[in-house]
Structure 1
């Protein structure tokens, strides 16, 4: 056993993953979490006999979770089981079009060509292009610490350098999709993937068209016991590895000796450590835990545009809807107007695109008999001081009107349990600056390269993981950030 100690700030999925990787290396690891339970954004809500996954609801690239168990010499299935989805998502358009995104490529193509004017060639070209972007970026950017231009002078880097035009970074996602497809419904279908990292398809680079490959090309999955089972499985493994969890334990300060991290102060107590890893939002890490060292703050990074936030209604519904599946999207009639309202006006659009996740479709015990647990989410701007009370009230009414019309049912009369999460709550509960879910936005071709690195450039022995740093937000990228940190250490 190594005599070295590592302290992790925050028990989000990246913090737990980093702790596991260091424990396997022989480090003594201790995690300090401000909340009463682990998970960060990947939390759960239990109310009125309904269970909801409070945050992330889509699982892709589950091999990154399996890796953690295998690294510790364990069988993943002993801790965490999941199934691949045959139906990835159901889509409902304002004009009445209904599409089912099947995992099977042939069935998916048949569905699209039957219900839209799109052709198979366009769908296949998009799938091939998305896969190519992934193959070029994954080994160089997603799976490695960002090392600037020198990253390009490796075998994988040179391959990327020679194929830069295939990354499609000089035009927006929307421009790329509009050229790819002739049916506006399919343009909207693929533009939606910008929301997977809190960005605007009318501003984000076409490189983000890599995202559909992760879902449609590599598969979408569901944990048999719900998304929070990812956390419970990892926490169980961490405990077996001797990792100590401290809840209700907000870190007051990262302690420095000159420009070297030497530990943390928690509730007034000094905890010495050889390594400090922050799974806390990078903005709060500097402005709260390193507030006494302003000269060490990466000012340009901290001033970047933040990602979008979310407004979530957790509704217990006193009915089952056979036309809905695990994942469902109800599109707005004017996508451009919706994103302009979010990003330019910093307000909630009156006809928002609505996402509904219903885990009880695959895990019936998440709702009482005859009922469903609806996780109802819309994209909203980050919290920059808006008065949210009235917009949230109006959004609730608009969502209910929209859903009731498209489902031919007065949904408002079916709600028997309700909880609400708005950007203020997200910021307070998860310490995500401005309630932005994914840290910085990716609304420029250089944004991905401007994310905070996983290792501090100015403070020795200080590392960062999670959605606010490289390589980005979402469960797979958070897990990769933990891997990058462990390799750097």
Structure 2
């Protein structure tokens, strides 16, 4: 094959698409507006501290390994990782805490001991999560929802008979209230809605599929940090002959007679047989596809939540903290009410702290820690962010001080901030939303933009803003679905 393909955006899905197309024999060029690959999956280094800038949880590592296998390489020679014995540490204001062990039985016993939740309820919930995954993952994660053969194949027909058990007709919170006795357990399992920027009080219980990934399959950590996912795949793409252009912002997708012919970049036209858009779908239609027919219903759909992240170099080690740590709000429902309905930040936010130096010691100076400190916030709707960030910082520090019984402010010797406005400007994410359109109703959770254009021939889409959704595994799967469509 001697055909040429152009990929717009070097996010993780764009890199994966480049690898898959190169393996198929395409000549591949990637145009990226930033000076680096990876999109959100990048890194920050400051004064001896290294931070993974974006996604911090790693699940389904086989999706990364598959790309090396396709290229005829041994994955472990290029990318290495470990399985976590403890997926997360949870803390509450009343002094209770627990470790979410990777082993299901150990986790169930820990929840019973620390929260008083019968261990069998945990096992039952994780069996239910596995059941949802078994019936929905092959249908919704590995196939296009925009082709008839997805809906009429035998596996799909079997799943239709089980819709009541798959959470389609209940909310995540509603389902969790039914299966758990303790509110803290409900809160712990409601948290999984945040994995795709949703509200557990509105999103369908189908998203209770997520705990299966973390517990039944496992949570992992790349030995060189999350950014190594980007770096290892970027190197693989280069080895396959993919050509990357950085600081190269695409100005327009060239379309003639409903056929994509190439792109305009730096006022120059670059032609190709195939165009793949890895840019956020909403902003792509508003900018590089603004002359084309707009999918207005999708563009108008509510967006997911965003994030406020403080990258803190902390000149002390805290033995009670692990790689992933959650300090829960006292009023979870009110926190989500502020995020999604009041477009503001609750005064008592849930705080997530990711510390890679626990496993990768050179990410911080000796005796120090690199804290990726994040709260969920609304997407950008022109709020007074400067004031909101200042207030949130005070509230985050106060919460950390109360729960860890410390004074964290004097220990912060490095600080960088990422917030909805800079997320939008750095990653072209509409409104700074982390996961594209919201999944806060049973239809939006599944009916995202297709991996191809129904209006323009030779135009395809991948990334977190299109099917099957956001997060590293789904972004990688979007590239897989897209390239299989080309066949």
TM band (smaller chain): over 0.9
Matching of residue 440 in structure 1 with residue 441 in structure 2: no
How far apart, CA to CA, are the structure 2 residues paired with 1:116 and 1:332?
16
Residue 151 of structure 1: CA displacement?
Answer: 2.5
Could you tell which deviates more after superposition, 424-433 or 154-163?
154-163
How far apart, CA to CA, are the structure 1 residues paired with 2:398 and 2:445?
37
Task: List aligned pairs for 1:67-466, cutoff 5 A.
Answer: 67-147=66-146, 151-293=150-292, 296-466=293-463
Residue 467 of structure 1: CA displacement?
Answer: 0.2
How far apart, CA to CA, are the structure 1 residues paired with 2:122 and 2:151?
31
Residue 448 of structure 1: CA displacement?
Answer: 2.4
**Matched-pair contact (CA < 8 Å) for 2:449–2:467:** yes
Residue 168 of structure 1: CA displacement?
Answer: 1.2
Equivalence for 1:49 = 48
Secondary structure of 2:445 counterpart: helix
Secondary structure of 1:123 counterpart: helix
How far apart, CA to CA, are the structure 2 residues paired with 1:88 and 1:412?
27
Q: Deviations over 1:78-102 (max 9, x none)?
A: 2110000001000001221101000
How far apart, CA to CA, are the structure 2 residues paired with 1:7 and 1:145?
21
**Matched-pair contact (CA < 8 Å) for 2:323–2:355:** yes
| Shift >6 Å, 4+ stretches | none
How far apart, CA to CA, are the structure 1 residues paired with 2:344 and 2:174?
24
Secondary structure of 1:450 counterpart: coil
**Matched-pair contact (CA < 8 Å) for 1:439–1:468:** yes
Q: Deviations over 1:155-203 (max 9, x none)?
A: 1111111111111111110000000001000000000000000000000
Which of 449, 463, 473 aligns to 2:470? It is 473
Secondary structure of 2:120 counterpart: helix
Residue 148 of structure 1: CA displacement?
Answer: 5.8
Unaligned runs of 5+ in 1: none
Normalising by the residue count of structure 1, what TM-score does the alignment of the two structures yield? 0.98
**Matched-pair contact (CA < 8 Å) for 1:358–1:372:** yes
Equivalence for 1:36 = 35
Secondary structure of 1:151 counterpart: helix
Normalising by the residue count of structure 2, what TM-score does the alignment of the two structures yield? 0.99
Residue 116 of structure 1: CA displacement?
Answer: 1.2
Unaligned runs of 5+ in 2: none
Question: What CA RMSD, in Å, does the superposition of the two structures yield over aligned residues?
Answer: 0.8
Equivalence for 1:15 = 14
How far apart, CA to CA, are the structure 2 residues paired with 1:80 and 1:450?
33
Residue 150 of structure 1: CA displacement?
Answer: 5.1
Residue 140 of structure 1: CA displacement?
Answer: 1.0
Q: Deviations over 1:141-161 (max 9, x none)?
A: 110011366533111111111
**Matched-pair contact (CA < 8 Å) for 1:301–1:450:** no
Secondary structure of 1:202 counterpart: coil
How far apart, CA to CA, are the structure 1 residues paired with 2:145 and 2:8?
22
How far apart, CA to CA, are the structure 2 residues paired with 1:130 and 1:257?
47
Secondary structure of 1:323 counterpart: coil
How far apart, CA to CA, are the structure 1 residues paired with 2:266 and 2:304?
31
How far apart, CA to CA, are the structure 1 residues paired with 2:149 and 2:175?
29
How far apart, CA to CA, are the structure 1 residues paired with 2:259 and 2:445?
27
Secondary structure of 2:57 counterpart: coil
**Matched-pair contact (CA < 8 Å) for 1:448–1:471:** no
Residue 449 of structure 1: CA displacement?
Answer: 3.0
